[in-house]
Structure 1
């Protein structure tokens, strides 16, 4: 019955690694943009960040096998707090009152969630996963999610709407599938280890494919967000959207007490993130005057005057 504590510890360690990895990836993006030579995925530092993220996600995957998802998902606020600490310690950013209040609220909300969330997890079997996978409410949820995802993808790709909310909503919708598939796969593996073999059922491999695919596309969109926006913007928004999507995906929205505790964490994350400095990227179409050869400066000046 105390295995949920192990799940909490593993999840916290995993979220700290994820926070470090996101900051490493952001640094790699900035460095490659300054050099302007090779794409970011050719950087060894970027791959180091990806590996760390993989280790952190594996920790979260293992945590779902020891504790219910309603307990593990909100622990993502640890990554937000860790990012704030990293920015203060390594980036020499200043600490303001809202950071302290926000961190306190986030920690309080997380503590209350850990304390009052159910500490018993349902035994996940292949038959149970199949039963929920073909239920009408899950199929309706999946249909609505696909429609919303396609609409957001159209805005992002075809209409070139590069707003952080659009990108992070794409990540969150994929994350909801990740939570469902991770819980199913880890639960079936746990039952198999206990002696009830679940790996012979096709639903296990279906969920495994969904888990790998959703994680891969999550990393893709998350890296695009990290390339366009500051990590201190991406990490808090990712936490709020991920937790909300995990709650909806698990049909935990009717647990009003848990929602109150989540709102405490959300408010704390907002206070931490609202005063974070934003990285203002220079317009790619802009050319600094000191980079223009001298013989073209006079011509450029004459053209500007004629206009």
Structure 2
């Protein structure tokens, strides 16, 4: 019961984070949960980390720190219609339909043949759809933030379309993530899923919000 409660609180906080910070920043920071899980498992479950586990944790810290230091500023958004405009521009529309096409091919062509033997099949579906989920969650989160601030965003049909997309993508993700967890080792599924999910989410954010990373400090 306590575990379920903490999971619910964590997901609510994660959802709220997307409303206040760039998705390109929030998603990679989720990888830090792997480190906390590894540390807790070491002290509570007595599962000792070997050298590659320590290296993986170190890389997560380095990667997350790098993204935080060079994360772009959040674009000021005053309504869901602005998000809708970004989502319906040619670049993101191409990404959206390419993702749906690739996912459809994987589900109907590769899942029956390789789903039980190749981890990347299930995780690929979850990660691709996850990038769309995050974009939808970003829009719904902004709608809720603005609505609580006194500017009702649920009077626009765009808000409800984003909500439907989030529900559809989440259900698809949960279905295939559960299949991956039932078929493969959890210790392998979680890191691979975080890497692929984060990668596709960053790509989707760059395309939709046209963000840029600044890796060099100019005088």
Is TM (by shorter chain) over 0.5?
A: yes
Q: Which residue of 17, 20, 24 corresponds with 1:63? A: 17
Structure 1 residues 239 and 134: alpha-carbon distance in aligned structure 2, compared to 1, 3 A threshold: same
Largest Rg, 1 or 2: 1
Tell me the equivalent position of 1:78. Answer: 32
CA deviation vs aligned residue, 1:184-219 (integer Å, no higher than 9, x gap):
011122122223221100010111111122112211
CA contact (8 A) 2:19 2:145 kept: yes
Q: Secondary structure at the match of 1:93?
A: coil
Q: What is the aligned counterpart of 1:98 among 39, 52, 68?
A: 52
Q: Distance in 1 between matches of 2:62 and 2:205?
A: 23
Equivalent residue, structure 2, for 1:113: 67
Q: Secondary structure at the match of 2:143?
A: helix
What's the counterpart of residue 155 of structure 2? 200
For 1:111-147, what per-residue CA distance to the aligned partner results, in whole angstroms no more than 9, with x for missing partners? 2322331343431522212312322112211121111
Q: Work out which structure has the larger RCO, using CA pairs closer than 8 Å and 6 or more positions apart in sequence.
A: 2
- C-alpha change, 1:215 and 1:57, in structure 2 (3 Å) is farther
Q: C-alpha offsets along residues 142-184 of structure 1, whole Å, 9 cap, x if unaligned? A: 1211111011102344335321111100000110111110000
Runs of 4+ residues deviating >3 angstroms: 48-55, 155-158, 252-258
Check whether the contact 1:155–1:161 (CA below 8 A) recurs between aligned residues: no
> Unaligned 5+ residue runs, structure 2?
none
User: When the two structures are superposed, what TM-score results if normalisation uses the length of structure 2?
Assistant: 0.85
**Structure 1, residues 243-280: CA drift from partner, whole Å, max 9, x if none?**
1111111126974557xxxxxxxxxxxxxxxxxxxxxx
| Equivalent residue number for residue 159 of structure 1 | 113
For 2:126 and 2:160, locate their aligned partners in 1 and report how far apart those are by CA, in whole Å: 23
Q: Distance in 2 between matches of 1:176 and 1:71?
A: 13
Report what 1:217 is aligned to: 172
The SS at the match of 2:144 is helix
> What is the CA deviation profile of residues 58-113 of structure 1, one whole-angstrom value per residue up to 9, with x for unaligned ones?
22111111211111011121122123224323442222333333322321221232
Contact kept in structure 2, 1:88 and 1:95, CA below 8 Å: yes
- Once the two structures are superposed, the pairs formed by residues 295-306 of structure 1 within 5 Å of their partners are none
Judged with a 3 Å threshold, the aligned counterparts in structure 2 of structure 1 residues 133 and 115 are, in CA distance, closer, same or farther, namely: closer
- Match of 2:109, SS state, is helix
Aligned length: 213
Q: Is the 8 A contact 1:188 1:199 kept in 2?
A: yes
1:123 corresponds to:
77
Residues 234 and 52 of structure 1: is their aligned pair in 2 closer, same or farther, counting only changes over 3 Å?
A: farther
* Match of residue 88 from structure 2: 134
Counterpart secondary structure, 1:159: helix
Tell me the C-alpha RMSD between the 2 structures: 2.5
Q: d(CA) in 2 for partners of 1:89 and 1:156?
A: 40
Q: How does 1:1-307 map to 2 (within 5 A)?
A: 53-123=7-77, 125-162=79-116, 163-251=118-206, 255=212, 257=214
